[in-house]
Structure 1
Amino acid sequence: MARIIWCTAAAAVVTCLCLWGSSEAVGGARSRPRPQKRPSTKPKVDPIDQTPSAQNTDLQQMGGTWYLLSAASKCSYLMRHGTKVEPTVMTLTPPSATDVTMSVRTKTRHNHQCWEILQVYDVTPTPGRLILKGPRPELNTDIVIGETDYRSYAIFYFHKMGKITMKLYGRSVDNLSEPVLTKFEELAEKQGLGLAYIFPFPTYSHCGAVDQDHIINCVPTC
């Protein structure tokens, strides 16, 4: 029987409602009403819409193996287990002439066993932008390939339910330069993800072959 991993993220929303009113002063004089804050007329913009994708991203060149080197996120799972993350490798199969989706295979460990997660990213008309569909449209994950040189590194943005997770991938585990790592930290800072929210991933002991019982289809939350 295939095993299933569930990754859940919890979010709490606290709403305060303040009621203002006028009062009667001694002698019948009315106090001045307190100034009311004008409602914002600026439309809300999702963070992902302010994240430019790499110009003219060539999805064919994105194909192949990528090693996860670092993640920047406020995902509750990473916040709790960020010091115990496992080596993770992603394999991308680019779209073909007859298939406008990108196949994604991610191998990692769980409970000392290797697992493979299968996903499908839908290609959008905007270069460098993809969609991982959830059970409902509001649970979709918008994906942006922010920067890449195809040969050594790629920076991905994952946006779901108003939250962003950034991931830095490398073609190998030992050829990334310090400027690329610095660039990732600077881009994460712009998303409000300072060093406290950046989690390095192990660069050794990656999974090899995976038993069929450990191949699953799921939509991780982060």
Structure 2
Amino acid sequence: MAGVWRCMLPVVVLMCVCLWASTEAKSRPRPQIRPPKKPKVDPIDLTPPAQNIDTQQMTGTWYLLITASKCSYLMTHGTKVEPTVMTLTHSPDQTLSVSTKTRRNHQCWEILQVYNLTPTPGKLKLKGARTELDTEIVIGEIVYNSYVIIYYQKRGKLTIKLYGRSVDNLSEPMLTKFEQLAEKQGLGLAYLFPFPTYSHCGAVDQNHVINCVPTC
């Protein structure tokens, strides 16, 4: 009889191990297959440029009327912005030379930049010190003798600006349209900053002519 038990014991142990392994396998959750990550789409990539952009007609003077942005500087100093005027000049090398005049510390500054044209009409690029510091620019909407809406994106952060040929161009329909476009980009009323339309800079203190890339 003892011999029989010695023969049966390994069988019983083996059955117990098999049952335990089967129960353990059933109790373990099946690994979940993660859905593939959606490719990152920058906000500016969803903004089609205006059709048939003619950069020659864009040249001349533009007054900054209002900006939509989550820029930290504007969030802190948005009530103290200064009148700003931008002058565009078409260069022979197929770039746009940009002169922006504004006031800092009660003195007139001039910011000089170059917007590079891209193969896509209406899309420009302002090159930074490194590729990741480039500013992507889209001409979203324009009426050459009236207004232009420009989108700027740097490091994934979007800023939208409305310029007018005249300081008197900010009509109610135009403002409503700008607000709607900004809202589509998550820039509601809290992120809208109107700019003064008076006391723009004329002559510039040459000691304050600089080259830089705007962040707002």
Give the TM-score category using the shorter length: 0.7 to 0.9
Residue of structure 2 in register with 1:73 after alignment: 69
Q: Aligned partner of 1:199: which letter?
A: F
Aligned-pair RMSD on alpha carbons?
1.8
Q: Aligned partner of 2:85: which letter?
A: V
> Structure 2: how far apart are the matches of 1:177 and 1:34?
61
- TM-score, normalised to structure 1, is 0.82
> Structure 2: how far apart are the matches of 1:36 and 1:81?
48
Residue of structure 2 in register with 1:120 after alignment: 114
Structure 2 residues without counterparts, runs of 5 or longer: 1-22
Aligned-residue offset at 1:178? 1.2
Residue of structure 2 in register with 1:49 after alignment: 45
> Structure 1: how far apart are the matches of 2:165 and 2:30?
60
Q: Aligned partner of 1:93: which letter?
A: T
Structure 1 residues without counterparts, runs of 5 or longer: 1-26
Any idea what SS the aligned residue of 1:72 has?
A: strand
Residue of structure 2 in register with 1:102 after alignment: 96
Which of the numbers 124, 127, 130 marks the counterpart of 1:133?
127
Residue of structure 2 in register with 1:162 after alignment: 156
> Structure 1: how far apart are the matches of 2:204 and 2:45?
37
> Structure 1: how far apart are the matches of 2:135 and 2:72?
17
Q: Structure 1 residues 79, 37: closer, same or farther in 2, change over 3 A?
A: farther
- TM-score, normalised to structure 2, is 0.85
> Structure 2: how far apart are the matches of 1:162 and 1:148?
24
- Report how many residues are paired: 194
Q: Which structure shows the higher helix fraction?
A: 2
- Does structure 1 residue 87 correspond to structure 2 residue 74? no
Identity %: 77
Query: Does the aligned pair in 2 maintain the 1:59–1:95 contact within 8 Å?
Result: no
Query: Does the aligned pair in 2 maintain the 1:152–1:175 contact within 8 Å?
Result: yes
> Structure 1: how far apart are the matches of 2:82 and 2:97?
22
Residue of structure 2 in register with 1:61 after alignment: 57
Q: Aligned partner of 2:142: which letter?
A: T
Query: Does the aligned pair in 2 maintain the 1:152–1:176 contact within 8 Å?
Result: no
In terms of Rg, which structure is larger? Answer: 2
Residue of structure 2 in register with 1:143 after alignment: 137
Q: Structure 1 residues 35, 182: closer, same or farther in 2, change over 3 A?
A: farther
Q: Which 10-residue stretch deviates more, 41-50 or 197-206?
A: 41-50
Q: Structure 1 residues 90, 48: closer, same or farther in 2, change over 3 A?
A: same
